[in-house]
Structure 1
Amino acid sequence: MDRMSALFVVIVLAASCFASARAGWSQGSATFYGGPDAAGTMGGACGYGNLYAAGYGSNNAALSTSLFSGGASCGQCYQIACDASKTTSCKPGADPVTITATNLCPPNWALSSNNGGWCNPPRAHFDMSQPAWLNIGLYKAGIIPVLYQQVRCWRQGGIRFTIAGFNNFELVLISNVGGPGSIRSVSVKGDKTDWIQLNRNWGANWQCNAALVGQPLSFAVTSTNGQKLYINDLVPYWWKFSMTFTSNQQFTY
């Protein structure tokens, strides 16, 4: 094989490997917000509050309406790569960055979806923290085309349950979720009750109306991948509203 033929084979193989690496990825776009320390991304429509304390750190993003799915995507992890085939504003040699969905990027109906209304349906858009954005894009760009895919979330420690509410109303924030990062359904059980189904209130917060004060609590949690965990007797009978309890269980896929 002569040198030109060998070079052609290498180029074809490289192109084939690149195509395989991007197989299953989807096209979208990305902007950034929140400042260089990501302080402006704290809080948000998922309800995680301080993202450092919640274990999510600064690599986070607000999802457009179509991706946010009414809060069902809260906690999910996405790998995002700048699409260098469509822009010169990618950071040279950058690897994809992995972010956690922690907020909603609301639509702006006053602007066209192609001219400022980046989060309008049906666009797939990530409004990333500035630190996450700078892993893949140039600051001056403002907006870049991206390729993205949902990936497994890796979390330190077990799933956390923060109980808010008052009297017979319980609002349970579920955070630090591994595997798919997001929850499909939740039930709670006291030592004087049967299993009670919770409903999503907002973001990663789930609610029920039940007289649970003074009872030890167990949770049954099903991930969006379909894995179900029974977390028995996690919460002692003396629990108070605003307390957080960390389990020793985690989703594995």
Structure 2
Amino acid sequence: MQRHRSSAVLNLSLLCYCLVLKQLVLLCGAEGLPQHRLPDLHWYPGTATWYGEPEGDGSTGGACGYGTMVDVKPFRARVGAVGPVLFMKGEGCGACYKVKCLDKNICTRRAVTVIITDECPGCPSDRTHFDLSGAAFGRMAITGENGQLRNRGQIPVIYRRTPCKYPGKKIAFHVNEGSTPFWLSLLVEFEDAEGDIGSMHIREAGSSEWVQMNHLWGANWFIIGGPLRGPFSVKLSTSTGRTLSARDVVPGNWVPKATYTSRLNFYP
């Protein structure tokens, strides 16, 4: 009888171990490394205003450094500025959010999706605030009430993080003006998934070492060396741990202000 109880306890222990192991497999990759966190589907309270032209696309350029990209699709009319809570000194650049108006009398139930491209000067630092393009702000209104919604000025909203999606686009690296073989600065464009950058590394031609780049401002990163030898491979990691490496994406004959497109993105 004692052996029977011991066997039952052993079987139960093995079952518990298998269940735990199964959960670890779901949470970890083949090498046992933690994968990116699941998206947070909870909605959080915030406030929103709008800027620019009533039906406009928002600002040109912005504090993230995307320049004229914000004037054309897929950024056009989807740009948004945020306060310090989400801007995080530029580390929040590129992230995508769904923003929904709470006033049922004038707003629809649908949320507008915006891409963080700018910082909102003077926005409150004690709460989450969005300063949207006129077009994005008005899109939350029911038909025919766009102007009335904009007349409200500041409105209460709820928001949540959402994956960035750029169908047909691959991650590109723009070499910033002023770059030299001794100081190289890159801007990342069209990054799917989280959209933001947690860290960036670069590997020179003929080297097996990944060297960490430093955050410059907005979505811009840089490295100091000398002389730096291309072609360069670039590895970037998002804030949640997704990693992607683009081999020899910046050619040896690179020039400042040129953009070099990889063959990769986080989504097919």
TM-score bin (small chain): 0.7 to 0.9
Q: Percent identity?
A: 32
* Cα deviation, residue 212, structure 1: 5.4
Distance (whole Å) between structure 2 residues aligned to residue 84 and residue 179 of structure 1: 30
1:215 aligns with 2:255: no
- As a proportion of its length, which structure holds more helix? 2
Structure 1 residue identity aligned to 2:196: S
* Cα deviation, residue 210, structure 1: 2.0
CA 1:78–1:133: 2 relative to 1, 3 Å: same
Cα contact 2:57–2:79 (8 A) shared by 1: no
Normalised by the length of structure 1, the TM-score is 0.80
How many residue pairs were aligned?
217
The alignment yields a C-alpha RMSD, in angstroms, of 2.1
Residue of structure 2 equivalent to 1:191: 205
Distance (whole Å) between structure 2 residues aligned to residue 241 and residue 144 of structure 1: 42
Correspondences of 1:51-200 after superposition (within 5 Å): 51-53=70-72, 55-84=74-103, 88=105, 90-91=106-107, 93-107=108-122, 119-137=123-141, 138-156=149-167, 157-164=169-176, 165-167=178-180, 168-193=182-207, 194-200=209-215
Distance (whole Å) between structure 2 residues aligned to residue 106 and residue 120 of structure 1: 9
| Largest Rg, 1 or 2 | 2
CA 1:79–1:212: 2 relative to 1, 3 Å: farther
Cα contact 1:94–1:135 (8 A) shared by 2: no
Distance (whole Å) between structure 2 residues aligned to residue 212 and residue 189 of structure 1: 13
- As a proportion of its length, which structure holds more strand? 1
Normalised by the length of structure 2, the TM-score is 0.75
Q: Provide Cα deviations, 1:3-26, integer angstroms capped at 9, x if missing partner.
A: xxxxxxxxxxxxxxxxxxxx7100
Distance (whole Å) between structure 2 residues aligned to residue 40 and residue 229 of structure 1: 31
Q: Provide Cα deviations, 1:15-56, integer angstroms capped at 9, x if missing partner.
A: xxxxxxxx7100000000021453551110100011134741
Distance (whole Å) between structure 2 residues aligned to residue 217 and residue 38 of structure 1: 38
* Cα deviation, residue 70, structure 1: 1.0
* Cα deviation, residue 84, structure 1: 2.2
For structure 2, which runs of at least 5 residues remain unmatched after alignment? Answer: 1-40, 142-148
Structure 2 residue identity aligned to 1:196: V
2:67 to 49, 55, 62: 49
